[in-house]
Amino acid sequence: MHKPLIKIDDKHVPLYRIVWVADLPHFCGEEDCVREGYYEVRLDVDDSIWTHHADRDRVIEALNQWCGDPREDGDMGGEPEF
Ligand SMILES: [Zn+2]
């Protein structure tokens, strides 16, 4: 079993709290924006975590493992059963 917990920007976040992960770095044009170049990880509690590119990829990988086809665990390369 994969652990449904990932560390993002010094916070341990349950994967099931993540709604979406930005594909592109934030840009809003505001002069004093401190999030520019960061990737947003949206949480379901009306809050977001901001992280850099490598961490963003790590989050997506963890989500893919966690949300992925459970048949990929265990019998690797097996034919799907119909
Ligand atoms: Zn901004």
- Quote the ligand 1 centre to 33 CA distance (angstroms): 4
Edge-to-edge strand list for the sheet holding 47-51: 18-21, 39-43, 47-51
Distance 66 CA to ligand 1 centre (A): 30
Q: What is the DSSP string of the chain?
A: ---SEEEETTEEEEGGGEEEE-SS------TT-S-TTPEEEEETTTEEEEE-HHHHHHHHHHHHHHHS-GGGSSSTTPPPP-
Per-residue pLDDT, averaged over 17-44, amounts to: 95
Query: What pLDDT score was predicted for residue 1?
Result: 55
Select the more confidently predicted residue: 72 or 8: 8
The Cα 55–Cα 67 span in angstroms is 18
pLDDT higher than threshold 80 for residue 6: yes
Mean pLDDT on 10-18: 93
Taking the domains of the chain in order of start, what are their residue ranges? 5-69
Say how many Å lie between the CA of residue 8 and the centre of ligand 1: 19
Sign of CA dihedral 43, 48, 49, 51: positive
Residues bordering ligand 1, an ion, CB closer than 5 Å:
28, 30, 33, 35
- Report the pLDDT averaged over residues 43-65: 92
